[in-house]
Chains A and B, each alone.
Chain A
Amino acid sequence: DTGVSQNPRHKITKRGQNVTFRCDPISEHNRLYWYRQTLGQGPEFLTYFQNEAQLEKSRLLSDRFSAERPKGSFSTLEIQRTEQGDSAMYLCASSFVEGHYGYTFGSGTRLTVV
């Protein structure tokens, strides 16, 4: 297991298009998190899963955003009708439930909406 894997690394899309990102967490980790990070800022929480259950969604996650983790393994984050303000780095992280140890980030997907 080489850590948290995210694909694609970069995505350029036209405004109004839909995009989907994938995250493969560390296999032993129950929890999976999605964050958004804009330039010069720390990561902002979007949502997280414990196994396949989505337990919390931030108010940052508008109705254009949806995340799934259908079998409790990999997760997808979809953005519909992208806007220029969606341009950011989307980070995925995974961890064990207890103590939040082993909290590991992926390398992120850089989205540019033109």
Chain B
Amino acid sequence: KNQVEQSPQSLIILEGKNCTLQCNYTVSPFSNLRWYKQDTGRGPVSLTIMTFSENTKSNGRYTATLDADTKQSSLHITASQLSDSASYICVVSLLNSGNTPLVFGKGTRLSVIA
């Protein structure tokens, strides 16, 4: 069964600190993996997208890693800001899928406090 599991479910950190969010997947055939940021009451916004051959990708203070062998990904946030408070959703795309091409994790709820 195609699944995406994220951990932790929620996380509270102090402003300025770093954090790492985890994503494990059992999706096959794999096409790409994306991390989205979703503010409360808003739609998800893409942070990074990585294909099978990419190990790391950065977007400002966000750095995503991918280990396609162990089927794990992480999202590292550096020097967190209050505006980083949001849900972070890991999404895996199926290769050559004509339908339901994306498998969503339930997200990690990050709260950055002063």
Contact = CB atoms under 8 A, between A and B. Distances in A.
A105 B45 contact: yes
Contacts of A104: 46
A62 interface: no
A16 to B, nearest CB: 25
A106 B46 CA distance: 11
Interface in B39-73: 41-46, 49
A41 B106 contact: yes
**Interface SS of chain B: helix, strand, loop or mixed?**
strand
Interface of B: 4, 31-32, 34, 36, 41-46, 49, 89, 91, 93, 98-102, 104-107, 109
A40 B106 contact: yes
A100 B45 contact: no
A45 interface: yes
B100 A42 contact: no
A100 B56 CA distance: 20
A43 B32 contact: no
- The contact size tier of chain A is 20 to 34
Contact of A43 (B41, B45, B104, B109): B104
B39 to A, nearest CB: 9
Interface in A1-58: 4, 6, 40-45, 48, 55-56, 58
A56 B97 CA distance: 12
A100 B98 contact: no
B31 A99 contact: yes
B65 to A, nearest CB: 20
Given A42-B106, A42-B107, A100-B93, A55 B98 contact: yes
B99 A55 contact: yes
Interface string A97-111: 001110111111010
Q: Which 3 A-B pairs have the closest CB atoms?
A: A42-B104, A105-B43, A56-B99
B34 A103 contact: yes
B61 to A, nearest CB: 21
A67 interface: no
